[in-house]
Chains A and B, each alone.
Chain A
């Protein structure tokens, strides 16, 4: 077995998986509370990548930043996370909240509309050309290695950053009052409202957190892969949702696990399967079908008992 290829694929799979996990978290949290497929989530991630790009260039660009490179990176993340968080809250407020009691299909169509709107607004404002993060100029191009495992700075930054964000999210959900309210709301929205929980606020917070994570993932994508474009949100959103479903939708550890599974799978498919780079999405699709058929509630999801 070619170990160095294996390690390379693993590293890139973990990087990709971290991105998917962050996107999947947003999907999963929103689904857990509203039972809504937020199709616009992938486009929020795309907007995050662009906010990061504008932050980078607002601070002097990658080659000669106004402040230290690491401070620039942190500011890019902050800008993208706050920007996307606010965007998520606004989307929820205007596109989903009025439809709380409408038929299930209405918010879904509204979500598709928002997705279309964001994507084409980006096309209108930012153009169809790719934009380059030039992250190697910013945070160094040195490839490091531990034994046979080679990795670049943006990759380790992505994996560690994703882990850190997930830890913070887990703490928020598990320890804080608003986290408790989120769990209560996802369990039974009406009962939570009757217990004095401000459900609208909880939903806003959920959208803020989920969208902020997507924004961070957008910046990470820019740092790792360099180029961003207005269409990048769609496929990433699809993968993120797949990750959420594979892990068990509504479950936060499930979203993380699902993200890693999808990322690694895609990476190994590229390396080991026939015509893997062309058909990687098909392989992911096949695994999704298999998981749903064997465990419809996902790897870490709980099966809901049907009440008759």
Chain B
């Protein structure tokens, strides 16, 4: 046998066949430059409590800066989404179980709290009793749902839980007219009307009855849950969850009782959902069947996935983006600012070098004025209407975008063509893409002004959310703060 040098001989030299290059892979790719790199490095060096403080301390001053209405819309709902996201993160992010019935647990918490503290049954339990009781009951429900599911792998679990979520909605919608044996007719959930007038939580006589009190209460709950989850993740249980996510069989042979831990993750996530749901229900002073349907489920999934599954900071970031961006869309003026702002920023960030960028922006502006001028001369009806956008945007837009007097049909076609155009642009590259982008952006502005802006409170928000999810998965499947994962199938 040839006498090969033993690898420990010369530790400083990289050698062919050893793994120096592979080992430094992480460092090479992670070394980011500029402002984002600086922030990332500072963030990495902060101790866990420091990171929590970075989020919580500035947030705590929000009530002094915002009106009550804005505090509810921007801050409180973000915190609620984040709390729901934290529970889902345990199930999906840590244990890797695809639970599509998660929202039903939130709903169960809200209804459970409503039954314990609303005029429906004349109960009014103290919150320090009711909220833990509801959380524990929801965890038990999670255990029961998990029991038949524990043998199911991946997608089967997804479908069973999705059905469970649907079953929950059907149940609460109709549980006002079920005849129970022994009890007779009981109106359990108020049916389609839901439970209303849920009392605000009352801790040892201290009532959470104002927006500001709710805000601090939920912020404290969020900080506590986040801290607890951080420690849970770094414990033997957290490691076992992640191990079973990575490879259930290897985890099982490495002393991890996989089935029991799956159930634990399920019940744990459900308990957190029930806890959040109880507070959420009391805050909304009611529990209604439509609230806990697929819409909220997808929103919370978006929160977790956008930030990066498995990352606690990611959940917070995801909640901020998912709640605040559509909220901004509610007012037409803000929506327009956001829409044009995002497009402009994307162009500024992506089109390089500066010369090309200048030509592109110039071309875009000129294209719009040209189209507008031609239309003005030939078919004045196409430019006759007024812009929905207000403020400083109104003037330029009326001179630039076509605003037909009867936009309905033409804007519908424009929408379909726009989707096709966007898909086409993603297939082109180089200068072709830039050239094609000019009419596409213009068409986008046209569809926005004539169709999308009229529905900013409804369909448009959800369309943009759907498109955002697809685009994000294409660009960064691991989420904003997630680390790229290796998966071997």
Contact = CB atoms under 8 A, between A and B. Distances in A.
B163 A285 contact: yes
Interface in B153-178: 154-156, 158-160, 162-164, 166-167, 170-171, 174, 178
A37 B163 contact: no
Interface residues of B, number: 53
A160 interface: no
Contacts of A245: 156, 159
B167 A293 contact: no
Interface residues of A, number: 50
A242 B166 CA distance: 13
Interface string A256-268: 0000000000000
Nearest to B469: A113
A94 interface: yes
B474 A99 contact: yes
Best-buried of B163, B423, B478, B487 by chain A (most CB within 10 Å): B163
Interface stretch (B4-12, B14-22, B71-79, B460-468): B460-468
A308 interface: yes
Contacts of B434: none
A35 B154 CA distance: 10
B466 A281 contact: no
B463 A117 contact: yes
Interface stretch (B55-63, B132-140, B438-446, B451-459): B451-459
Contacts of B452: 124
Nearest to A235: B166
A57 to B, nearest CB: 14
Contact of A296 (B152, B416, B451, B469): B152
B280 interface: no
Contacts of B148: 289, 292-293
Contacts of A118: 466
Given A104-B154, A105-B92, A95 B170 contact: no
B473 A107 contact: yes
B240 interface: no
A279 B174 contact: yes
Given A105-B305, A282-B170, A116 B163 contact: no
Given A117-B463, A124-B463, A296 B159 contact: no
Contacts of B473: 95, 99, 102, 106-107, 109-110, 113
B293 to A, nearest CB: 10
Contact of B459 (A124, A278, A279): A124
B459 A120 contact: yes
Interface in B101-147: none
29 contacts: A90-B423, A99-B477, A104-B487, A105-B98, A110-B469, A113-B473, A114-B470, A116-B298, A117-B466, A117-B467, A119-B462, A120-B458, A120-B459, A124-B463, A238-B163, A238-B166, A241-B159, A275-B178, A281-B163, A281-B166, A281-B167, A285-B167, A288-B160, A289-B148, A289-B160, A292-B156, A293-B151, A296-B156, A308-B249
B415 interface: yes
B24 interface: no
A195 B151 CA distance: 35
A157 interface: no
Given A114-B466, A116-B463, 17 more contacts: A35-B155, A95-B473, A103-B477, A103-B478, A105-B92, A106-B473, A109-B302, A112-B466, A113-B467, A113-B468, A120-B459, A121-B419, A124-B460, A279-B174, A285-B163, A289-B160, A296-B151
B415 A94 contact: no
Best-buried of B98, B426, B474 by chain A (most CB within 10 Å): B474
